[in-house]
């Protein structure tokens, strides 16, 4: 049976006149994680995505399953610990999509060697049993051997460490398939444009099939808002004057020919002069370089890179690559917007925590914000714990720590 056949899925929604246990709005990492958690606890689950699965931020990441060396620098040990555990779990659950990637921090100032060497030892320790390789200080010769065209002027050596690399869109598709194969329903091109209420409490959603314009009234015990950068729009359907829950920060990547980063190792620059992180990572037969952190005001499904962002990346890439890439070397650019938890005070977006947060409105709308791809499973577990309480669902334990996301042969139609 083709579990992703649209007609079969629509029939299932049509014939399901009764109540869903859980309806999830949004088919990015967060919504897919929530729906997977829900079906594996055997709750009747429906996920609605208005575009393609992972069309939003979830297909525009740096494609790393990582603890986040930068968050270690910021002192957010609990986030790094959680993400490193999730890195190990995901590697076990989706081995066909997550593999080990070596990263090298090139060292140009003598004090950076011991500093990053120590920091990355802490990173190894936090990963514990789920570690994927030990970090090590490299000599100048070893660094050049691993990254043939690293900038050698003033180079003193490097530090090598390991993280995970994955294919974000493929993982999203495999999770959607896994949801549908486990008695859940995940459907795309279905846009939620209003919330239904009974006695002032959320009792479902109204969604439009974007292929036929047909409207569906869908009843549910609980509704989860997992719409990333569109979160504020959905909470305003619930309560028109609700305070915003997310703030938006754009990040772009440029794609270059592989000749700009020879060998299999990636370059990681933990601290550019304005405090950002820069990655140059082999990606299939190309190399991706990013990213930026630019505050934006409007949530867009197809965001555009700013000229200054492209210049910023080129300028920094040129410092670490011996043959410096120019504008004309860029093969393509992709931009994504981070749905960050809105902090109380006005902060620089790069310093806002990448933790996740769950908010329940007075009428029972459950909204999950923040987080990252790496922690999508834990986010799902946490939001379903909360949603099950709101919906009064039977308490069931999570099994997703050891639930395999299988490689699927069948193609989408
Ligand atoms: C530049 C960049 C690099 C990153 N790199 C990494 C990385 O290397 N590793 C990592 O772990 N994390 C990374 N992240 C973070 C990670 O990508 C995000 O945290 C994650 O993808 C957010 O997923 P989401 O599901 O919350 O949002 P989205 O993926 O945007 O999903 C929200 C979905 O909701 C849908 N939607 C909105 N409104 C409606 C509606 N009314 N009805 C139906 N559907 C609706 C949208 O179409 C969208 O598909 C990166 C982020 C950025 C921007």
Can you give the pLDDT at residue 349? 64
β-bridge mates for residue 137, sequence order: 159
Among candidates 85, 173, 153, which has minimal Cα distance to 321?
Answer: 153
Please give the distance, rounded to the nearest whole angstrom, from the Cα atom of residue 59 to the centre of ligand 1: 7
pLDDT confidence of residue 343 = 80
411 Cα: distance to centroid of ligand 1 (angstroms): 23
Give, for ligand 1, the residue of 218, 230, 234, 250 to mutate: max count of ligand atoms closer than 8 Å to Cβ: 230
Using CA positions, which residue lies closest to atom 35 of ligand 1?
26
Q: Which helix (H) or strand (E) holds 82?
A: helix 77-93
Query: What gap in Å lies between CA 53 and CA 127, rounded to an integer?
Result: 30
Q: Cα separation of 47 and 176, whole Å?
A: 9
**What's the pLDDT score for residue 412?**
47
Give the alpha-carbon dihedral of 338, 4, 188, 341, to 10 degrees: -30
Nearest in space to 34 (alpha carbons), one of 407, 363, 394, 356 = 356
Q: What is the pLDDT of residues 13-32, one digit of tens each?
A: 888 767 999 999 999 999 99
What is this structure's pTM? 0.95
Looking at residue 347, its pLDDT comes to 62
pLDDT of 73: 81
Structure tokens at 198: 């009974």
What pLDDT score was predicted for residue 12? Answer: 84
Q: Give CA–CA dist 230/244, Å, rounded.
A: 10
**Ligand 1 centre and the CA of 317: distance in Å?**
26
In 132-245, DSSP assigns E strands to 136-139, 157-166, 185-187, 190-198, 201-209, 215-225
Q: Which residues contact 289 (CB under 8 A, 6 or more apart)?
A: 253, 254, 255, 256, 278, 279, 280, 281, 313, 317, 325
The atom of ligand 1 lying closest to the CA of 64 is 8
Å from CA of 152 to ligand 1 middle: 37
Query: What was the pLDDT predicted at 348?
Result: 64
> Which residue from 58, 85, 190 has its CB within 8 A of the most atoms of ligand 1, so it is best to mutate?
58
Which residue has the least CA distance to atom 41 on ligand 1? 192
Pocket test of ligand 1: the residue of 54, 61, 305 to mutate, having most ligand atoms within 8 Å of its CB, is 61
DSSP annotation of 244: P
Contact 338, 349 (CB under 8 A): yes
Between CA 239 and CA 242 the distance in angstroms is 5
Please report the atom of ligand 1 found closest to the CA of residue 234. Answer: 41
Burial of residue 409 (number of CB atoms within 10 Å: 0-12, 13-18, 19+): exposed
Q: Measured from the CA of 253, which atom of ligand 1 is nearest?
A: 1
List, in order, residues 6 or more apart from 285 with CB less than 8 Å away: 258
Q: Whose CA is nearest to atom 1 of ligand 1?
A: 251
CA-based max dimension of the chain: 71
Atom of ligand 1 nearest to the CA of 252: 1
Nearest-angstrom CA–CA distance, 146 and 357: 40
Ligand 1 pocket at CB < 6 A: 25-31, 48-51, 54-58, 60-64, 191-192, 226-230, 251, 291, 301, 336-339, 371-374
- Residue 139 dihedral angles phi and psi, to the nearest 5°: -75, 170
Count the Cβ atoms, other than its own, within 10 Å of residue 327.
10
- Concatenating the DSSP letter of every residue in 270-287 gives S--TTS--EEEEEETTEE
Looking from the CA of residue 48, the nearest atom of ligand 1 is: 43
Cα 370 to ligand 1 centroid, rounded to whole Å: 9
Q: State in Å: Cα 105 to ligand 1 middle.
A: 28
Domains of the chain and any CATH numbers: 6-57+169-242+354-402 (3.50.50.60), 77-165+247-350 (3.30.9.10)
Strand 64-65, strand 246-257: pairing: unpaired
* pLDDT averaged over 10-residue windows placed end to end, the chain, 413 residues: 81 82 98 98 98 98 93 88 96 96 94 90 94 95 94 93 97 96 96 97 97 95 98 97 95 96 93 86 96 94 97 93 92 97 72 81 96 97 97 97 84 48
> Residue with structure tokens 């670490």?
320
**Is the CB of residue 312 less than 8 Å from the CB of residue 289?**
no
């Amino acid at each position: 049976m083709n579990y992703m056949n649209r007609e079969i899925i629509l029939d299932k929604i049509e014939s399901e006149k009764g109540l869903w246990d859980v309806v999830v709005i949004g088919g990015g990492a967060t919504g897919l994680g929530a729906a997977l958690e829900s079906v594996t606890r055997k709750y009747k689950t429906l996920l609605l995505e208005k575009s393609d699965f992972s069309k939003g931020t979830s297909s525009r990441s740096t494609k790393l399953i990582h603890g986040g060396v930068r968050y270690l620098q910021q002192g957010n040990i609990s986030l790094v610990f959680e993400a490193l555990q999730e890195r190990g779990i995901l590697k076990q659950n989706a081995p066909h999509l997550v593999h080990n990637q070596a990263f090298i921090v090139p060292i140009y100032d003598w004090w950076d060697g011991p500093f990053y060497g120590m920091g990355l030892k802490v990173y190894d320790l936090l990963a514990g049993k789920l570690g994927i390789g030990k970090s090590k200080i490299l000599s100048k010769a070893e660094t050049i051997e691993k990254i043939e065209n690293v900038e050698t002027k003033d180079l003193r050596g490097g530090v090598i460490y390991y993280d995970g690399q994955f294919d974000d869109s493929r993982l999203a598709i495999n999770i959607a398939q896994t949801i549908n194969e486990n008695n859940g329903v995940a459907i795309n091109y279905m846009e939620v444009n209003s919330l239904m209420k009974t006695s002032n409490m959320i009792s479902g959603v109204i969604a439009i099939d974007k292929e036929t314009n047909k409207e569906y009234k869908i009843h549910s015990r609980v509704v989860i808002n997992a719409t990333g950068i569109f979160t504020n729009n959905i909470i305003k359907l619930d309560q028109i004057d609700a305070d915003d829950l997310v703030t938006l920060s754009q990040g772009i990547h440029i794609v270059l020919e592989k000749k700009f980063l020879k060998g299999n190792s990636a370059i990681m620059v933990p601290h550019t002069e304005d405090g950002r992180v820069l990655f140059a990572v082999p990606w299939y037969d190309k190399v991706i370089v990013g990213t930026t952190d630019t505050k934006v005001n409007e949530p867009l499904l197809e965001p555009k890179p700013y000229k200054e962002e492209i210049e910023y990346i080129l300028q920094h890439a040129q410092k670490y690559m011996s043959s410096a890439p120019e504008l004309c070397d860029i093969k393509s650019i992709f931009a994504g917007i981070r749905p960050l938890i809105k902090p109380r005070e006005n902060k620089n977006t790069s310093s806002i925590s990448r933790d996740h947060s769950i908010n329940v409105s007075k009428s029972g709308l459950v909204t999950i914000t923040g987080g990252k791809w790496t922690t999508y499973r834990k986010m799902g577990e946490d939001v379903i714990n909360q949603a099950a309480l709101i919906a009064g669902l039977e308490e069931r334990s999570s099994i997703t720590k050891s639930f395999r996301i299988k490689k699927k042969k069948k193609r989408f139609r």
